[in-house]
Amino acid sequence: MKFLFVIDLLKNINPLKDSSVALMQATSRKFIEVWICTPQDLEARGDEVWASSIKINPNPWLSKIETECIPLAEFSCIWMRKDPPVNEGYLYATHLLEVAERKGVKVINKPASLRAWNEKLGALRYSNLMAPTLVASKIDDLMNFAQAHEDVVIKPLGGKGGQGVIRITQNSPCIKAMIELITCQEELPVMMQKFIPEVAQGDKRIIIVDGEPFGAINRIPKKGDFRSNLALGGKPEKSNLSDQEKMICSELSMQLKEEGLFFVGIDVINGMLSEINVTSPTGLREIEKFSNKSIADEIIENLISII
C-alpha cells in the first residue's frame, strides 16, 4: 500500500509542529509506503496523471529513499495538504487529483469539495451557529454593519493563519480608508463579523475526522493581539469539548462526510462557529502533546478501515 502526500516545499516544513508530518509518520508506522510531491510535480499524460514523487522514511524526519515518476492510480490514498492560498495553481492541482479519484483513488480531502468550501465562506452553511456576519465588497454596506455592531473584525476570504485579519470599532480612525484598502476599492468581498471579546479566553481548534471530533486545543492570543492563531504566536492549552461544541460537531458531521471532507479543523469562539478549515488543518501535534495520545495513528487506522 502506498500513500502520497501533496505538500509544500520540504524546506518550509517544521516537523516538530507540522500535522502533515505527524500523519506521514503514523502512516509509516502502519508499514505503508510514504511518498511526497508538490502540486507542481503533477502532470497529465492523456487520461493518466503522474507525479514526480519522492519515497521517504519519515521516522525519524527525514530520509529520502528514491525518486520516481508514478501514476497516481498506483496510490491507495492521496492527501492534498498544500497550504493556502487557494490560487490558480492550487485549483488546477485539484482538477488533476480528480482524475485519480475517478480511477478509484481515495483523495483527502475530496478535490471538488476543496474548491467548493472556502474556509471562510464554507461556514456560512451554518450561519445560525455563527456570530453576526456580513460578506460584502460595498463600502457603505460594510460601514453600516460596523456601525451597527460597534466592534468588528474583517477577514480576507483567501487568508490563512490569521494573516490580514483586523479589528475596528465605530470610533476607529480612517475606517472607510481601511475598508477601501482591504476590498481593493470594492473589487473584492471580505467577511466582517461582530467581535467576540471572549476570544481573550481562547479560540478552540477542533479536529473532525470522518465526521467525528478526534480532539481539540484552545489557543490563547499573545499579549497585545486578539488573533489566537498558533502561527502568530497564540499559546496552545489543553481543552475538552463543551456540550455546545459537541452539538456544533454533530450538526456538521453528516454534510462533511457526504462531501468527502474526511479531515477538517473547525474554529469555535465562545460556543460560536468561526471557520471550517479543509485545506491543511493544523493542531495535531499540540493535541497529541496535551492528550498524551497519538491522534495521528488513530486517524490513519480510521482511514485504512474505509479505503
As a whole number of angstroms, the distance between CA 173 and CA 177 comes to: 9
Find the angle CA(116)-CA(275)-CA(207) to the nearest 5 degrees: 95
Question: C-alpha grid cell for residue 124?
Answer: 456560512
Catalytic, out of 81, 106, 110, 155: 155
The secondary element (H helix, E strand) that includes residue 112 is helix 111-116
Q: Is 138 a catalytic residue?
A: no
Q: Is 87 a catalytic residue?
A: no
Catalytic, out of 219, 229, 245, 288: 219
Catalytic, out of 82, 106, 204, 227: 227
Q: Is 205 a catalytic residue?
A: yes
As a whole number of angstroms, the distance between CA 5 and CA 37 comes to: 6
Q: Is 140 a catalytic residue?
A: no
Could you tell me where the DSSP H helices lie in 202-242? none
- What is the SS3 assignment for 271? coil
Q: Is 222 a catalytic residue?
A: no
Number of Cβ atoms within 10 Å of the Cβ of 135: 17
Catalytic, out of 267, 285, 286, 288: 267
Pick from 227, 231, 197, 207: which is nearest to 299 by CA? 207
Catalytic, out of 110, 277, 285, 288: 277
Catalytic, out of 205, 218, 229, 286: 205
Catalytic, out of 98, 203, 210, 275: 275
Q: Is 103 a catalytic residue?
A: no
| Residues 208-221 as b or e (16 or more Cβ within 10 Å = b) | bbbbebbbbbbbbb
Q: Is 120 a catalytic residue?
A: yes
Pick from 182, 231, 179: which is nearest to 203 by CA? 231
Catalytic, out of 82, 106, 120, 194: 120
As a whole number of angstroms, the distance between CA 168 and CA 154 comes to: 8
Q: Is 43 a catalytic residue?
A: no
Please return the burial class of 57, using the count of CB atoms within 10 Å of its CB with bins 0-12, 13-18 and 19+: middle
Query: Active-site residue numbers?
Result: 120, 155, 205, 219, 227, 267, 275, 277
